[in-house]
Structure 1
Amino acid sequence: MPTADLILAGARVRTLDPARPTATAVAVTDGVISAVGDASDVRDWRGPGTQVVRLDGAHLVPGLVDSHSHPVWGLELATGADLSEVTGPAELRAALTAAERVDGWVIGYGLDHNAFAGRPIDRDLIEDVLGDAPAFLRLYDGHSALATGAALTAAGVNGPRAFAQRSEIVCDSTGRPTGHLIEHAAMDLVTAVLPRQSYAERRARLVALLSAMAATGLTGAHVMDGGDLDLVTAVAEETVLPLRLRFAPWCMPGASKEELDALIALQGRGGRHWTVGGVKFFMDGTVEGGTAWLEHADCHGQGTEAFWPDPEAYAAALRHLHAAGVRTATHAIGDAAVRHVLDVVAGLGASGRHAHRIEHIETAPDALLPRFAELGVAASMQPPHTAYTRADGSDEWSRRLGERRADRAWRLRDLRDAGATVALGSDWPIAPFDARTVLATAQAPKGVASRRAGLTGLEALEGMTTHAARAAGEADLAGRIAPGHRADLTALAVDPVSAPADETATADVRLTVTGGRVTHGAK
């Protein structure tokens, strides 16, 4: 073999490669794993310019990948005042009173639906503490927001509108907008007039964010949006991205054949550590927002409609992309949404196996679970979302669904038992990006999902390595520590397979390597 650029020695290596499950040393050449062995092999791998990092017994595993994240678009979502700790109307008012103004605006994010204590989301709750300042507050789910009258006026919004997608400007009985904006098209009316950060600010934030992600052990992310690809292009030319990013731009209802063909043409665009590889659909919204597509209405009589007003149009769009060899990921939270996506993939026949995936799957009946393995559809799930529910079922998610459907929450264990590929992620900025938290909550789900058994430590690790690679169609070059695979590696102070979940959640990250380049730890 050629002389290695990087050697990691003195490690407890868990390769996830059946051909060689364990080792103590790994060699990297030109960004690829060139050898896996033990201490006796290091001398043969080493050359004059080889960097040798001694891990002193740290546990080396394949590089952790967040299978659902928004690190570029999320910079816009996670702007302004962090409202994630607000628990009630009084706290919200206090936080907004103290919030910094940005070009005269108050912008916030991460606001939990539970903070409204079951009351309708209405600008009347906050306008008196804001004076004339326009305000735009994103709710934590990323699918809804609260805007004040001044913000609505700035956006030219003075009543209801019709949209091509399932979206709503909520109005009271007089036709007055309450400020509650549901789904992307409604929110986009106001985001179009928000203050925007400069290129320099966005560049600095992106590099800092990706570096912070690498510090938790992440080596890559499946980016479930198109992001700002011009920004990514520029940053990747100026520096080496700390994470490997795989983008799936959105396909929205009403997409024309020309728009679908443009998405096809985008596939393969990329640079060092980033590429466009897939397309993202939405089949529904969120349970808390009343827009998850359910087989039966929620407790407010909502949730019986798909995000695509004509679900068959979604099927036709997916078939068009599939015929062009494009992989797809579909946001489907409710049971009806999950069923519809599975039905569409079933209609593709054998050619559809292992080419498509479903994101979130927050509630699903028993009958749907074996279909994932039968159809080769990957289940992409975000264990940290379970923390937005409560074990006693008093949260908005559980109350809307009712006990029977809440008992089907985040069926990680059941999907793995049914033979499905289960890829794990965070959905940042909806939930924290820390890879260790994803591993830990996969083993010990929070809130209402804690009623069900979680994954084993090995299964959780596979969810961010081998199963993540499988979900992206990259099983032959990622997800394992084996010669010829990408040199994406994570070293932790504890063994994530055998350590208790709470220890994994706080484990020291000794080293992160992406593409053979150390992005966190020893230099």
Structure 2
Amino acid sequence: MLDLLLTNTLVRTFDPNQPWAESVGITDGRIAYVGNSTDAPPARETRRLDGKLVTPGIIDSHNHLLLGFDPDAVSLEGAESLGEVRDRIRRLADERPDLDWVCAENAVYSIVDGRRPNARDLDGITERPIFVTTYDQHSVWLNASALRALGITSGHDIAWGNPEFDRDGQPTGWVTDFYTSAMTSAGLSALQRDIPMYSPERRYKKILGSLEMATRSGITTVVEPQVPVAEIGLFDKALCEGKLSSRVIAALFHPIDSAPEFRRELREAVDDAPHSDRLRFGPVKLYADDVIEPHTAWMLDDYANRPGHRGHPSAPVGELSKIVTELDRMGFQTHTHATGDGGVRLALDAIESAQQTNATRDRRHGIVHVECLDPTDFPRFEKLGVTAAMQPRHASPDLIQGTWMDNVGQDRWDRAWRVRSLMSSGAHVALSSDWQVGEMDPLVGIYSALTRASLDGSEKWTQNEIITLDQALYGYTREGAWAWHAENHLGVLKLGAKADIVAWSADLYELDPSSLLEQRAELTIVGGEIVHDAVDDYTRFDVAAKTLNPDRSCSGHASH
């Protein structure tokens, strides 16, 4: 007797021994039947899905749960003009006189033509400080009141970023290197002191909101790629309160300039952190460079629109290799941000050096984003067993026109987000959202992978890098499982695997790519438990803590 049977459906198993089926059954949280509908055993509960597609649950290999959306801030998503940005911020300021700081999220770099935004662009909205993050979280935009409140106008440094100054030595209101600096111990402490949006209480609410969205989207495993050691307790709290509706793999952030003692602290933190079937700590997040839009990613050649400038690596050349080698020796898997072709090469060099020095095998280090890739570095991903954790939505013209495209230059557009080429080379490519830089919904990412187009379909580019629906689903399931050493029990529907499943609202294989954006995850199952059921229009998040980790006390979670 099965616990649950999904039948009269189209099951894409990604099991090479049985690629397709009509039914899948679950017992005790694991797959107990895969086959045709007529031979399926009886079940306590049966769902007939009328030919809709069932796949393994989505594994989002780079999803910033901690960023989320803040209900006390305004989103600038879709705001394409300075006037619209000002209107949205003014509306929040007028509606919320109780806020000491007026905060906004998701600004695009190209909001002002031909230059970066500055403090003067925010004049006249409110006398209160204004704090705006860019869509990629790597830059911050401040008004004059915020510059004064933070002491930047008086020449004070801030621990969570690098303020820019004009030729006269005056701050422009633009701050770079935000996310890398803000997640250090000193940076996070100062940020939480200065900016209310980053208080532990509001950060915890973001985690819960992001998890709710993940479960609704068919995501059964989320990789949170940048957790400061000081915030391990937030995930412990979510575990103990039964709020982890999806599995979470949490990568701990390693500031590139940390002393060797910090790596021992990381080892102790991971060994002491809460671990359960729903929560795992262990990967380490590093940065090889920053991002291309503000010209801070490391390029092998000059930026097209800034001769003589190639950005910069996050650490002196050679330092990243030392760090990755030591982390590899300590048993850590690394997850390294690299966007420029120079940054990607630095990360590959570091991983190769670690493997040669330590003689390690199958560590499965990852490089995140891989936005610009020199052709000579292609074979190194497969040779070194490196996962390329990539985001198809980032390659959409509506996100990168006017900034990324212009900065890199048309002569290098053929190096951009080479998903298909990497897959064809034999490399492992794990697809992801990079929420909230991109939309969390994997159907948006799949659409982007199949079209390399804007969401309205009006703009397309680099069409030679589009992939098929089957390749995209494979990247979101099998490759995600492989990346995190979980291929034997996640990302596949076969006997004995964990029952992480998503049922979609249609047979996605029968749809035109543009129709994917109209679909949804109808049923999300984690470990055999229905955690989202769109048909009944509800989502369950009251999973008892004892079912997540029956041997762990939930007291003392705030101490981490």
Would you call these one fold, judging by a TM-score over 0.5?
yes
Q: Which residue identity does 2:438 align to in structure 1?
A: A
Which residue of 149, 161, 164 maps to 1:154? 149
Which residue of 481, 487, 493 maps to 1:475? 487
CA distance in 2, matches of 1:161, 1:4: 65
Which residue of 403, 427, 433 maps to 1:426? 433
Equivalent pair of 1:331/1:359 in contact (CA under 8 Å): yes
Deviation string 1:390-420 (CA, Å, 9 cap, x unpaired) is 7xx8511111111112232111111111111
Deviation string 1:21-46 (CA, Å, 9 cap, x unpaired) is 12222222232222322334433x53
Q: Which residue identity does 1:182 align to in structure 2?
A: T
Q: CA deviation at 1:242?
A: 1.8
Q: Which residue identity does 1:464 align to in structure 2?
A: Y
CA distance in 1, matches of 2:157, 2:100: 30
Assess, with a 3 A threshold, how the Cα gap between structure 1 residues 231 and 178 changes in structure 2: closer, same or farther.
same
Assess, with a 3 A threshold, how the Cα gap between structure 1 residues 61 and 302 changes in structure 2: closer, same or farther.
farther
Q: Which moved more, 1:332-341 or 1:150-159?
A: 150-159
Deviation string 1:19-78 (CA, Å, 9 cap, x unpaired) is 1112222222232222322334433x53xxx333222222111111111110124356x8
Equivalent pair of 1:133/1:150 in contact (CA under 8 Å): yes
Q: CA deviation at 1:422?
A: 0.8
CA distance in 1, matches of 2:174, 2:201: 32
Q: How does 1:71-470 map to 2 (within 5 A)?
A: 71-75=65-69, 80-100=73-93, 101=96, 103-130=99-126, 132-158=127-153, 168-184=162-178, 188=187, 192-196=193-197, 203=204, 205-226=206-227, 228-267=231-270, 269=273, 270-298=275-303, 299-301=305-307, 304-347=310-353, 348-349=355-356, 351-387=360-396, 389=398, 395-446=402-453, 449-470=461-482
Query: Does structure 1 residue 62 correspond to structure 2 residue 56?
Result: yes
CA distance in 2, matches of 1:190, 1:197: 7
Q: Which residue identity does 2:289 align to in structure 1?
A: D
Q: CA deviation at 1:240?
A: 4.5
**3-state SS in 2 of match to 1:107:** strand
Q: CA deviation at 1:302?
A: 7.3
Q: Which moved more, 1:139-148 or 1:348-357?
A: 348-357
Assess, with a 3 A threshold, how the Cα gap between structure 1 residues 171 and 353 changes in structure 2: closer, same or farther.
same
Q: CA deviation at 1:389?
A: 4.7
CA distance in 2, matches of 1:147, 1:204: 24
Assess, with a 3 A threshold, how the Cα gap between structure 1 residues 388 and 225 changes in structure 2: closer, same or farther.
farther
Q: CA deviation at 1:253?
A: 1.7
The equivalent residue for 2:543 is none
Query: Does structure 1 residue 512 correspond to structure 2 residue 507?
Result: no
Equivalent pair of 2:51/2:506 in contact (CA under 8 Å): no
Q: Which moved more, 1:296-305 or 1:221-230?
A: 296-305
Equivalent pair of 1:264/1:321 in contact (CA under 8 Å): no
CA distance in 1, matches of 2:505, 2:67: 32
CA distance in 1, matches of 2:202, 2:137: 22
CA distance in 1, matches of 2:4, 2:308: 56
The equivalent residue for 2:555 is none
Q: CA deviation at 1:139?
A: 1.0
CA distance in 1, matches of 2:422, 2:477: 17
Assess, with a 3 A threshold, how the Cα gap between structure 1 residues 202 and 54 changes in structure 2: closer, same or farther.
farther
CA distance in 1, matches of 2:192, 2:203: 16
**3-state SS in 1 of match to 2:491:** coil
Assess, with a 3 A threshold, how the Cα gap between structure 1 residues 355 and 186 changes in structure 2: closer, same or farther.
closer
Q: Which residue identity does 1:378 align to in structure 2?
A: T
Query: Does structure 1 residue 21 correspond to structure 2 residue 30?
Result: no
Equivalent pair of 1:75/1:202 in contact (CA under 8 Å): no
CA distance in 2, matches of 1:272, 1:354: 21
Q: Which residue identity does 1:80 align to in structure 2?
A: A
Equivalent pair of 1:161/1:168 in contact (CA under 8 Å): no
Equivalent pair of 2:150/2:158 in contact (CA under 8 Å): no
Q: CA deviation at 1:335?
A: 0.3
Q: Which moved more, 1:488-497 or 1:401-410?
A: 488-497
Deviation string 1:226-280 (CA, Å, 9 cap, x unpaired) is 1633222222222242211111111112212221122223336323412113011
Assess, with a 3 A threshold, how the Cα gap between structure 1 residues 157 and 192 changes in structure 2: closer, same or farther.
farther
Q: Which residue identity does 1:512 align to in structure 2?
A: T
Gaps of 5+ in 1: none
CA distance in 1, matches of 2:263, 2:470: 39
Deviation string 1:472-508 (CA, Å, 9 cap, x unpaired) is 1211221110112121101113333453222222224
Equivalent pair of 2:10/2:51 in contact (CA under 8 Å): yes
Equivalent pair of 1:335/1:363 in contact (CA under 8 Å): yes
**3-state SS in 2 of match to 1:28:** strand
Normalised by the size of structure 2, how large is the TM-score? 0.85
CA distance in 1, matches of 2:8, 2:370: 40
Assess, with a 3 A threshold, how the Cα gap between structure 1 residues 267 and 256 changes in structure 2: closer, same or farther.
same
CA distance in 2, matches of 1:24, 1:375: 38
CA distance in 2, matches of 1:339, 1:482: 38
CA distance in 1, matches of 2:437, 2:312: 22
CA distance in 2, matches of 1:508, 1:239: 25
Equivalent pair of 1:9/1:55 in contact (CA under 8 Å): yes
CA distance in 2, matches of 1:162, 1:82: 28
CA distance in 2, matches of 1:235, 1:281: 25
Assess, with a 3 A threshold, how the Cα gap between structure 1 residues 238 and 162 changes in structure 2: closer, same or farther.
closer
CA distance in 2, matches of 1:51, 1:252: 49
CA root-mean-square deviation: 2.5
Q: CA deviation at 1:308?
A: 2.5
CA distance in 2, matches of 1:169, 1:432: 28
Identity, % of aligned positions: 27
Assess, with a 3 A threshold, how the Cα gap between structure 1 residues 226 and 56 changes in structure 2: closer, same or farther.
same
Equivalent pair of 1:492/1:509 in contact (CA under 8 Å): yes
Q: Which moved more, 1:91-100 or 1:318-327?
A: 91-100
Gaps of 5+ in 2: 454-458, 537-560
CA distance in 1, matches of 2:72, 2:302: 34
The equivalent residue for 2:558 is none
CA distance in 1, matches of 2:528, 2:293: 42
Equivalent pair of 1:160/1:175 in contact (CA under 8 Å): no
Q: CA deviation at 1:122?
A: 1.1
CA distance in 2, matches of 1:163, 1:321: 29
